[in-house]
């Protein structure tokens, strides 16, 4: 029920949300007004394949809606620019809602873990022991497993290579998933901003007209 492109029809996404582990029961009108506020969902619930698929469904729908209703908008160009900005923000831990979740900005635990300026060889790092090395690696979102020698070699890579330029194979898989999810969130929010600029009442007017005839569909 998009009324020829005047309003968003988020009923399917609404049902997906309220029946998910990360979602909650609410009126359809409330969902339409808040679905883009992903910062309200805890990171422990976000870091799942189910949440990522849900976000991808929203992005797919919004992209399709934009192509049909705003054909002059160059979505591919918008996303290309957005991704470039995202990579830098993620590396610096500055993605809204994911601050310090990226791979570049040092937290206090990182700062205090191991200062590589004081180590000149892998062998010197080995002397720290497996647990101290694991702590230093995981603080930087790197894989913390392997032998003490492997851990030391992985950490020593940062002696001459910036963290954001390190091969992705050295990073923990959970961090990759978070980054993918954060990027989809950023893209989704940008499309919402554009839609709100060109038709600021689309989200809310349509929601109110449907709310009275749309009871919860949980289960």
Q: Are residues 23 and 68 in the same domain?
A: yes
Q: Is residue 134 part of a domain?
A: yes
Q: Are residues 15 and 94 in the same domain?
A: yes
What's the rounded Cα separation, in Å, for the pair 62 and 178?
21
Q: Are residues 82 and 188 in the same domain?
A: yes
Q: Is residue 84 part of a domain?
A: yes
**The pLDDT value given to residue 195:** 85
Q: Are residues 25 and 126 in the same domain?
A: no
Q: Are residues 166 and 153 in the same domain?
A: yes
Q: Is residue 217 part of a domain?
A: no
Q: Are residues 114 and 130 in the same domain?
A: yes
Residue 202's contacts (CB-CB under 8 Å, 6 or more residues apart) are 6, 7, 8, 195, 196
> What tens digit of pLDDT does each residue of 74-102 get?
999 999 999 999 988 887 788 988 886 65
Residue 169 has pLDDT above 60, yes or no: yes
**The pLDDT value given to residue 137:** 87
Beta bridge partners of 142: 171
Residue range of the domain that includes 134: 108-170
The stretch 106-112 carries a mean pLDDT of: 44
The stretch 21-40 carries a mean pLDDT of: 92
**The pLDDT value given to residue 110:** 46
Residue 19 has pLDDT above 90, yes or no: yes
pTM comes to 0.66
What's the rounded Cα separation, in Å, for the pair 111 and 114?
7
Helix (H) or strand (E) holding 193: helix 173-198
Q: Is residue 218 part of a domain?
A: no
Q: Are residues 193 and 85 in the same domain?
A: yes
Q: Are residues 95 and 180 in the same domain?
A: yes
Q: Is residue 5 part of a domain?
A: no
Q: Are residues 206 and 114 in the same domain?
A: no
**The pLDDT value given to residue 122:** 96
- How many domains does the chain fold into? 2
Q: Which residue has the higher pLDDT, 108 or 30?
A: 30
Q: Are residues 152 and 178 in the same domain?
A: no
Q: Is residue 142 part of a domain?
A: yes
**The pLDDT value given to residue 81:** 95
Judged by average pLDDT, the poorest of 97-101, 162-166, 181-185, 215-219 is 215-219
Residue in 69, 156, 71 with CA at minimum distance from that of residue 119: 156
Q: Is residue 182 part of a domain?
A: yes
The stretch 130-152 carries a mean pLDDT of: 89
Q: Are residues 115 and 34 in the same domain?
A: no
**The pLDDT value given to residue 196:** 83
Q: Are residues 93 and 196 in the same domain?
A: yes
What's the rounded Cα separation, in Å, for the pair 193 and 80?
17
Residue 37 has pLDDT above 80, yes or no: yes
Average pLDDT in the chain: 83
Q: Is residue 196 part of a domain?
A: yes
């Amino acid at each position: 029920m998009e009324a020829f492109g005047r309003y968003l029809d988020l009923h399917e996404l609404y049902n997906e949300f309220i029946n998910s582990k990360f979602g909650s029961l609410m009126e359809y009108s409330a969902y339409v007004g808040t679905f883009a506020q992903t910062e309200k969902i805890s990171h422990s619930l976000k870091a799942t394949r189910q949440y990522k698929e849900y976000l991808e469904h929203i992005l797919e729908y919004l992209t399709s809606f934009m192509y049909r209703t705003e054909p002059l908008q160059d979505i591919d160009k918008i996303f290309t620019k957005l991704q470039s900005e995202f990579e830098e923000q993620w590396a610096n831990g500055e993605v809204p809602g994911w601050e310090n979740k990226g791979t570049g900005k040092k937290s206090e635990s990182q700062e205090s873990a191991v200062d590589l300026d004081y180590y000149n060889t892998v062998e010197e790092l080995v002397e720290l022991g497996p647990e101290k090395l694991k702590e230093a690696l995981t603080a930087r979102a790197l894989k913390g497993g392997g032998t003490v020698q492997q851990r030391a070699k992985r950490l020593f890579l940062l002696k001459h290579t910036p963290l954001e330029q390190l091969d992705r194979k050295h990073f923990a898989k959970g961090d990759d998933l978070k980054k993918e999810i954060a990027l989809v969130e950023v893209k989704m929010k940008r499309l919402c901003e554009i839609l709100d600029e060109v038709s600021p009442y689309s989200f809310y007017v349509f929601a109110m007209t449907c709310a009275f005839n749309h009871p919860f569909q949980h289960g």
